[in-house]
Amino acid sequence: MSANSSNLKLFLSAEKIQAAVADLATRIEADYAKLTESGGDLIIVVTLKGALFFAADLMRKIERPVLIDFVRVSSYGSGTKSSGNVVMTKDVENPVRGNHILILDEIVDSGHTIKFLLEKFSQSEAASVKVCSLLNKPSRREAQVHVDYVGLDVEDKFLVGYGLDFNEKYRNLKAIYTLEG
């Protein structure tokens, strides 16, 4: 399997991804300089496994102090469609209370995952809870959620690469592709 596979069509180059990530990092740095003035740490909460690559690139473009934590959530549906049945199999380890939570996902699709995480963190006395996603598919939304930082809005296509998988494959690719056929 490689990016040369005939069923992969380039959707977003590595350069375009990095430009979108840099733009998000600039906005986040500026906003959290103000938000954390009255105290609390910024904790970036990475949704495993897909947001791992995005998080690693984004965090290295941010120079202010930032903590990292991980959650693992799955929503079981059929095929490429998720459902509202979200299950969390790994929770954060840092104390949330009084700190600023920024949830990082690589793509917001139906919105069920983010809705679940927003509800979870807003019950835990965080100083603030926001959402950042590299990609956003607004046409697929089922749960109404506000995404504070969006890298790029994309059309309704199934994407792989840069953390996005199909049956756990293709996450390691540097660019993002549509899966054809």
What is the total residue count of the chain? Answer: 181
- Residue 120 binds what, of Mg ion, ligand IMP, none (CB under 5 to 8 Å, by partner type)? none
Tally of CB atoms within 10 A around 67: 15
**Which CB atom, from 50 or from 161, has the smaller least distance to Mg ion?**
50
Name every residue whose Cβ is closer than 8 Å to that of residue 61 and which is 6 or more positions away in sequence.
Answer: 21, 22, 25, 26
Rule CB under 6 A: is residue 5 a binding residue for ligand IMP? no
Binder of ligand IMP out of 113, 129, 131, 136 (CB under 6 A): 113
Question: Measured from the CB of residue 35, what is the shortest distance to ligand IMP in angstroms?
Answer: 24
Name every residue whose Cβ is closer than 8 Å to that of residue 58 and which is 6 or more positions away in sequence.
Answer: 21, 24, 25, 28, 44, 104, 132
**Which CB atom, from 64 or from 81, has the smaller least distance to ligand IMP?**
81
Rule CB under 6 A: is residue 45 a binding residue for ligand IMP? no
23 in active site: no
Window 122 to 181, contacts with Mg ion (CB under 5 A) = none
Binder of ligand IMP out of 17, 42, 92, 106 (CB under 6 A): 106
Question: Residue 11: which region, alpha, beta or left (left: phi > 0; alpha: psi -120 to 50)?
Answer: alpha
Give the whole-angstrom CA distance, residue 98 versus residue 125: 6
Question: Measured from the CB of residue 29, what is the shortest distance to ligand IMP in angstroms?
Answer: 24
Window 114 to 173, contacts with ligand IMP (CB under 6 A) = 158-160, 164-165
Pairing of the two strands 176-179 and 159-160: antiparallel
Catalytic one among 23, 109, 148, 156? 109
Full DSSP string of 112-133: HHHHHHHHHHHTTT-SEEEEEE
Residues that bind ligand IMP (CB under 6 A): 47, 50, 75, 82, 105-113, 158-160, 164-165
